[in-house]
């Protein structure tokens, strides 16, 4: 088929996955956090239409005006086995066009890649889900077990208006579900020149908190010893400088020993950070999974050069190892001292699942079919996903958005990064692997 001369990458020549991902990127579903968002409704209507075209009956749910999530159930051949939730989120984090080399919401295709906010996190997987579902249902086909297809709003702000809202108000939508797959796992990395896939089998806990310092307001020329900004700055520096000790969990211990095996060294001969660094581009994720992290992310205080404000605030993004949340909060309180108020704005559980069982076996076998010999390694994701909300229903969640990537692409840096982009052939790979998995599991 001949494409129009003006558009070398027209829909005619694109794989369905790329076409859907590009369309989704063009909906600016920016989520600014703290309830401010451009909304997901247009993108939700779009995916609902795709699901309807497959003969499914998607339901749309608005937790707030504009905050739309979509859920559809696909009946499987064997309805007695546990259903699999296959989910993605429709929102994206903000993108400042001034930093980008392309329009972040243009869905541009160049250099064999699709560019735009969401190309990695996670309109790529949203598209892979829809394209593979098209393949599975093609000509009257059926998945092996019931699939619950969900596209959530608000993941980038903790899922309050998306996954948590649906899990809390409509748990019946997920009846019979035992497992889930979604984002931030399944992509390939390079270890010692060998391609390997990271499968996400756990997530750190998250605590978003605010530090508040109070002090007397007054003229900027006064002699003041309890200036709120000074006190806050001291506390923020202590938090930001604190080095949390390494503590290995089952997942990270297994991951490090697998890295050592691939490198051909004794696990004890290299330290955990050293082994993590051997994963190259993925080392940022992996090093952060070995300990608690606390990053100051926002500072707010003052309104005039010669006025001392009575209050100063800092936002801190805390990611603790699963189960250590309360101990970490207690240690933080000690670190900042009694004069600093700590306000927890949002917190969510950590998760850790065994790297074993029929779904893991199926995933490993499927990847081996499509990329023979490449090992699959478990990892603990330092950030969070909608799997946290689903875990409230006892659903075990994994990060599996399969992408076979070139070794020179720093893929982990593209999550929330500038010039977010994904290779077109990786999208086709993901569609093929997911189709295979959903047909046979
Ligand atoms: Zn995401």
Could you read off the pLDDT of 400-422 as tens digits, one per residue? Answer: 999 999 999 999 999 999 999 99
> From the CA of 6, how far away is ligand 1's center (Å)?
34
Would you say residue 199 has pLDDT above 90? Answer: yes
Residue 83, H or E segment: strand 83-89
Residue 394 burial by CB count (10 A; 0-12/13-18/19+): exposed, middle or buried? exposed
Kindly indicate the confidence band of residue 13, based on its pLDDT and cuts at 50, 70 and 90. Answer: confident
Would you say residue 246 has pLDDT above 90? Answer: yes
Would you say residue 371 has pLDDT above 90? Answer: yes
Residue 113: what pLDDT? Answer: 97
> From the CA of 218, how far away is ligand 1's center (Å)?
44
Quote the percentage of the chain above a pLDDT of 70: 97
Residues 298-346 pLDDT 10s: 999 999 999 999 999 999 999 999 999 999 999 999 999 999 999 999 9
What gap in Å lies between CA 438 and CA 391, rounded to an integer? 21
> From the CA of 155, how far away is ligand 1's center (Å)?
7
Would you say residue 34 has pLDDT above 90? Answer: no
> From the CA of 334, how far away is ligand 1's center (Å)?
33
> From the CA of 89, how far away is ligand 1's center (Å)?
7
What gap in Å lies between CA 341 and CA 333, rounded to an integer? 9
Quote the percentage of the chain above a pLDDT of 90: 93
- DSSP structure string for 304-328: STTEE-SEEEEEEEEEEPTT-HHHH
What gap in Å lies between CA 427 and CA 131, rounded to an integer? 10
Neighbouring residues of 366: CB distance < 8 A, sequence distance ≥ 6: 433, 436, 437, 440
> From the CA of 224, how far away is ligand 1's center (Å)?
45
> From the CA of 308, how far away is ligand 1's center (Å)?
40
Would you say residue 7 has pLDDT above 70? Answer: no
235-to-85, 174, 208, 213, 341 alpha-carbon distances in Å: 42, 43, 16, 9, 11
Please give all residues whose CB falls under 5 A of ion ligand 1, grouped by chain where several chains appear.
121-122, 183
- Residue ranges in 279-423 assigned as alpha helix (H): 283-288, 325-336, 358-370, 387-391
> From the CA of 181, how far away is ligand 1's center (Å)?
13
**What would you report as the CA-atom Rg of the chain, rounded to the nearest whole angstrom?**
23
How many Cα neighbours within 13 Å face the side chain of 180? 30
**pTM beyond 0.75, yes or no:** yes
Residues 165-191 pLDDT 10s: 999 999 999 999 999 999 999 999 999
Residue 354, H or E segment: none
> From the CA of 225, how far away is ligand 1's center (Å)?
44
How many Cα neighbours within 13 Å face the side chain of 145? 18
> From the CA of 122, how far away is ligand 1's center (Å)?
5
- DSSP structure string for 3-26: PPTT-TT-TTTS-HHHHHHHHHHT
Residues 35-55 pLDDT 10s: 899 999 999 999 999 999 999
> From the CA of 183, how far away is ligand 1's center (Å)?
6
> From the CA of 326, how far away is ligand 1's center (Å)?
26
The candidate with the shortest Cα–Cα distance to 114, out of 430, 423, 418, is 423
Other CB atoms within a 10 A radius of the CB of residue 383 amount to: 19
> From the CA of 123, how far away is ligand 1's center (Å)?
9
> From the CA of 172, how far away is ligand 1's center (Å)?
24
Kindly report the average pLDDT of the chain as a whole number.
95
> From the CA of 141, how far away is ligand 1's center (Å)?
30
Would you say residue 10 has pLDDT above 70? Answer: no
Residues 55-76 pLDDT 10s: 999 999 999 999 999 999 999 9
The candidate with the shortest Cα–Cα distance to 441, out of 354, 374, 366, is 366
What gap in Å lies between CA 415 and CA 405, rounded to an integer? 14
The candidate with the shortest Cα–Cα distance to 123, out of 183, 76, 167, 72, is 183
> From the CA of 91, how far away is ligand 1's center (Å)?
8
Residue 12: what pLDDT? Answer: 58
Q: Which domains are present in the chain? A: 16-184+385-439 (3.40.630.10), 204-348 (3.30.70.360)
The dihedrals phi and psi of 288, each to the nearest 5 degrees, come to: -70, -20
> From the CA of 202, how far away is ligand 1's center (Å)?
15
The dihedrals phi and psi of 143, each to the nearest 5 degrees, come to: -70, 165
Bridging pattern class, strands 396-399 and 177-182: parallel
Residues 79-129 pLDDT 10s: 899 999 999 999 999 999 999 999 999 999 999 999 999 999 999 999 999
């Amino acid at each position: 088929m001949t494409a129009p001369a003006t558009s070398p990458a027209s829909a005619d020549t694109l794989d369905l996955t790329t076409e859907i991902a590009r369309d989704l990127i063009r909906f600016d579903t920016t989520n600014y956090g703290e309830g401010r968002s451009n909304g997901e409704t247009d993108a939700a209507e779009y995916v609902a239409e795709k699901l309807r075209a497959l003969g499914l009956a998607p339901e749309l749910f608005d937790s707030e005006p504009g905050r739309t999530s979509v859920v559809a159930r696909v009946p499987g051949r064997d309805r007695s086995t546990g259903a699999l939730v296959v989910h993605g989120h429709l929102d994206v984090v903000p993108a400042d066009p001034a930093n980008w080399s392309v329009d972040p919401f243009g869905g541009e295709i160049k250099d064999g890649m699709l560019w735009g906010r969401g190309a990695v996190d996670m309109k790529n997987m949203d598209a892979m889900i829809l394209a593979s579902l098209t393949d599975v249902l093609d000509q009257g086909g059926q998945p092996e077990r019931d699939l619950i297809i969900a596209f959530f709003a608000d993941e980038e702000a903790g899922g309050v208006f998306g996954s948590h809202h649906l899990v809390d108000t409509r748990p019946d939508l997920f009846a019979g579900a035992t497992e889930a797959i979604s984002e931030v796992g399944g992509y390939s990395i390079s270890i010692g020149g060998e391609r390997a896939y990271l499968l996400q089998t756990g997530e750190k806990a998250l605590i978003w908190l605010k530090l508040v310092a109070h002090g007397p307001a007054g003229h900027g020329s006064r002699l003041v010893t309890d200036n709120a900004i000074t006190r806050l700055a001291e506390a923020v520096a202590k938090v930001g400088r604190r080095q949390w000790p390494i503590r290995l969990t089952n997942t990270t211990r297994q991951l490090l020993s697998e890295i050592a095996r691939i490198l051909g060294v004794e696990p004890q001969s290299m330290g955990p950070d050293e082994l993590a660094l051997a994963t190259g581009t993925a080392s940022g994720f992996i090093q952060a999974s070995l300990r608690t992290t606390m990053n100051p992310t926002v500072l707010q205080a003052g309104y005039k050069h010669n006025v001392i404000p009575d209050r100063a605030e800092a936002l801190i993004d805390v990611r603790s190892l699963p189960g250590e949340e309360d101990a970490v909060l207690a240690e933080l309180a000690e670190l900042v001292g009694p004069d600093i108020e700590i306000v927890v704005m949002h917190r969510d559980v950590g998760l850790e699942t065994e790297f074993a069982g029929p779904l893991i076996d199926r995933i490993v076998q499927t990847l081996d079919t499509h990329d023979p010999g490449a090992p699959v390694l478990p990892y603990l994701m330092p950030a969070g996903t909608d799997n946290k909300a689903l875990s409230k229903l006892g659903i075990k969640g994994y990060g599996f958005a399969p992408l076979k990537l070139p070794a020179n692409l720093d893929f982990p840096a593209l999550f929330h990064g500038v010039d977010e982009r994904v290779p077109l052939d990786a999208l086709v790979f993901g569609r093929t692997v997911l189709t295979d998995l959903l047909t046979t599991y």
